[in-house]
C-alpha cells in the first residue's frame, strides 16, 4: 500500500475551540458558538460525537445516521451536520468531529459502565468491538465529507492497524484532499505512535496538560512526535478536571489557568481550548449530560465579561492565541473576563 500523505491543509495548524454538543440544543446555540469562536480568533470548532447513543456517554455511538435527540436539530445526521458546516464556513470556521472508532456499545451493562466516575469518557466500553469494518467506516467518512465536515480528531488509535488508518485517510482524501486527521496520542504508547509515521495524520496532540514540569517523559514524547507531525497542545483536557476548579483563591486559579494557556500556546504548534475555559468554568464538560444552553451556561458573564479578539499570531514562530485573564468581581463565581493581550513571543500585537 502506498504511503498516505498529509492533507493539503497540513501546513495550517489549527486554533481549535472544542465543544460538548450536549450543551448546544438547537441551531441557534451552534451559531452562537461559531460566532464566539470566530470572535476569539479560533479557526476551527471541534465537537465530541453528536450521534445517537444508547449508553449515557457521547462516546458510545450506536446510530451514525441520526443525531442525539438532545441536540434538538431537525433532519438526519448528514443533513443537519451539512447545515452546521455551511454556517461555520460562512464565518471562516472549519467544522470537525471526534472520530471514536471502537467506542460502540456491546451490551446493556454499557450504560452502567459509562457512568462509573473512575472511567475516562474517552475509554471504549468493556467488550466493545470496533463499530463496523474499515470499508463501512470509509463509506461513512465519505458521506460526512460530502456533508462538509472538514476533519476529525481520531480517538482509539489502537483500534486499527497502521495500514487500515492509511486506507481510511486516503479514502477520505480522495473525496476532499483538505480533509484533516488529528491523531489523539495522549495515553498511547510510544511504539504505537512510531507506527503512525506513514499513515498520513496531519497532527498529533501533546500530553503537556499532564506534565509536572519536572519528569523527562514529556521531552521524550516531544522529540518522538516532532518527527511525526505538528503537535497540538491544550491547557486542560476536554472532559477532565478544570484548572479553575478548586478551593484556592480566585487569584491562584486565574494564575494557574493563564500559565497553562501560555505554555500550551508556546510549546504547541497548534492550540485546542475546551469550551468554557475562557469563562473560567469550574465544572468539567460532562459526556453524559448537558443543559443545552450553550454559552449561556454562565448567564451573567455575558454582561460582566470583556471578550476581545485574541491576536492572530505567526504559528510557524511557535506563537499562539494568548488570553490575558482578569477575574471580574461582578462575574458569577467561576467566570472571568478575557481581554486581549498586547503581544506574545513572535506575535504582533
Number of domains in the chain: 1
Distance of CA 271 to the CA centre of its chain: 10
Q: Which helix (H) or strand (E) holds 65?
A: strand 61-67
Give residue 39's domain range. Answer: 15-340
45: cell is 470548532
Instruction: Examine residue 271 and state whether it is found in any structural domain, yes or no.
Output: yes
Q: What is the CATH number of the domain that holds 194?
A: 3.20.20.80
Instruction: Examine residue 92 and state whether it is found in any structural domain, yes or no.
Output: yes
What is the pLDDT at residue 297?
59
What is the pLDDT at residue 325?
35
pLDDT in tens, the chain (349 residues): 555 666 655 546 689 999 999 999 999 999 999 999 999 999 999 999 999 987 778 998 889 999 999 999 999 999 999 999 999 999 999 999 999 887 554 443 333 333 444 445 455 444 444 445 788 899 999 999 999 999 999 999 998 999 999 999 999 999 999 999 999 999 998 999 999 999 999 999 999 999 998 999 999 999 999 989 999 999 999 999 999 888 888 889 888 999 999 999 989 999 999 999 988 888 899 998 888 888 765 433 332 232 222 334 443 333 333 343 333 333 333 333 323 322 333 333 3
**How far, CA to CA in Å, does 246 sit from each of 243, 299, 305, 335?**
8, 21, 21, 13
Instruction: Report the DSSP pairing between strands 15-19 and 44-47.
Output: parallel
Instruction: Examine residue 180 and state whether it is found in any structural domain, yes or no.
Output: yes
Q: How many CA atoms lie within 13 A of 50 on its CB side?
A: 29
Instruction: Examine residue 9 and state whether it is found in any structural domain, yes or no.
Output: no
What is the pLDDT at residue 321?
39
Instruction: Examine residue 348 and state whether it is found in any structural domain, yes or no.
Output: no
**Cα gap 80→73, rounded to integer Å:** 6
Sign of the alpha-carbon torsion through 193, 63, 82, 58: negative
**Cα gap 134→346, rounded to integer Å:** 43
**Cα gap 296→36, rounded to integer Å:** 12
Instruction: Examine residue 7 and state whether it is found in any structural domain, yes or no.
Output: no
**Cα gap 129→131, rounded to integer Å:** 6
Q: 3-state class of 47 per DSSP? A: strand
Instruction: Examine residue 251 and state whether it is found in any structural domain, yes or no.
Output: yes
Instruction: Examine residue 105 and state whether it is found in any structural domain, yes or no.
Output: yes
**Cα gap 27→219, rounded to integer Å:** 43
Instruction: Tell me whether residue 339 is exposed, middle or buried, using C-beta atoms within 10 angstroms of its C-beta: 0 to 12, 13 to 18, 19 or more.
Output: middle
Amino acid at each position: 500500500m502506498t504511503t498516505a500523505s498529509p492533507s493539503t491543509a497540513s501546513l495550517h495548524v489549527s486554533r481549535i475551540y472544542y465543544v460538548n454538543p450536549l450543551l448546544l440544543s438547537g441551531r441557534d446555540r451552534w451559531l452562537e458558538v461559531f460566532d464566539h469562536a470566530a470572535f476569539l480568533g479560533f479557526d476551527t470548532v471541534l465537537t465530541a460525537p453528536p450521534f445517537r447513543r444508547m449508553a449515557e456517554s457521547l462516546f458510545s455511538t450506536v446510530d451514525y445516521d441520526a443525531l442525539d435527540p438532545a441536540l434538538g436539530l431537525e433532519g438526519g445526521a448528514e443533513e443537519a451536520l451539512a447545515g452546521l458546516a455551511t454556517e461555520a464556513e460562512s464565518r471562516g470556521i472549519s467544522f470537525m468531529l471526534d472520530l471514536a472508532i471502537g467506542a460502540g456499545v456491546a451490551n446493556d451493562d454499557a450504560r452502567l459502565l459509562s457512568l462509573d466516575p473512575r472511567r475516562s469518557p474517552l475509554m471504549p466500553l468493556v467488550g466493545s468491538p470496533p463499530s463496523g469494518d474499515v470499508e463501512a467506516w470509509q463509506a461513512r467518512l465519505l458521506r460526512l465529507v460530502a456533508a462538509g465536515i472538514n476533519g476529525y480528531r481520531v480517538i482509539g488509535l489502537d483500534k486499527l492497524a497502521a495500514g487500515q488508518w492509511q486506507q481510511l485517510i486516503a479514502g477520505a482524501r480522495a473525496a476532499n484532499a483538505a480533509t484533516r486527521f488529528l491523531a489523539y496520542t495522549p495515553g498511547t504508547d510510544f511504539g504505537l505512535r512510531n507506527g503512525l509515521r506513514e499513515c498520513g495524520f496531519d497532527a498529533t496532540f501533546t500530553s503537556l496538560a499532564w506534565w509536572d514540569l519536572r519528569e523527562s517523559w514529556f521531552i521524550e514524547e516531544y522529540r518522538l512526535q516532532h518527527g511525526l507531525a505538528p503537535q497540538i497542545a491544550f491547557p486542560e483536557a476536554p472532559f477532565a478536571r478544570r484548572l479553575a476548579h478548586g478551593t484556592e483563591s480566585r487569584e491562584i486559579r486565574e494564575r494557574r489557568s493563564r500559565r497553562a494557556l501560555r505554555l500550551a500556546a508556546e510549546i504547541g504548534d497548534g492550540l485546542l481550548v475546551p469550551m468554557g475555559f475562557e469563562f473560567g468554568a469550574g465544572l468539567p464538560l460532562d459526556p453524559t449530560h448537558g443543559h443545552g444552553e450553550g454559552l449561556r451556561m454562565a448567564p451573567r458573564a455575558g454582561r460582566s465579561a470583556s471578550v476581545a479578539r485574541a491576536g492572530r499570531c505567526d504559528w510557524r514562530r511557535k506563537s499562539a492565541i494568548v488570553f490575558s485573564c482578569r477575574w471580574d468581581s461582578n462575574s458569577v463565581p467561576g467566570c472571568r473576563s478575557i481581554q486581549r493581550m498586547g503581544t506574545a513571543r513572535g506575535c504582533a500585537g
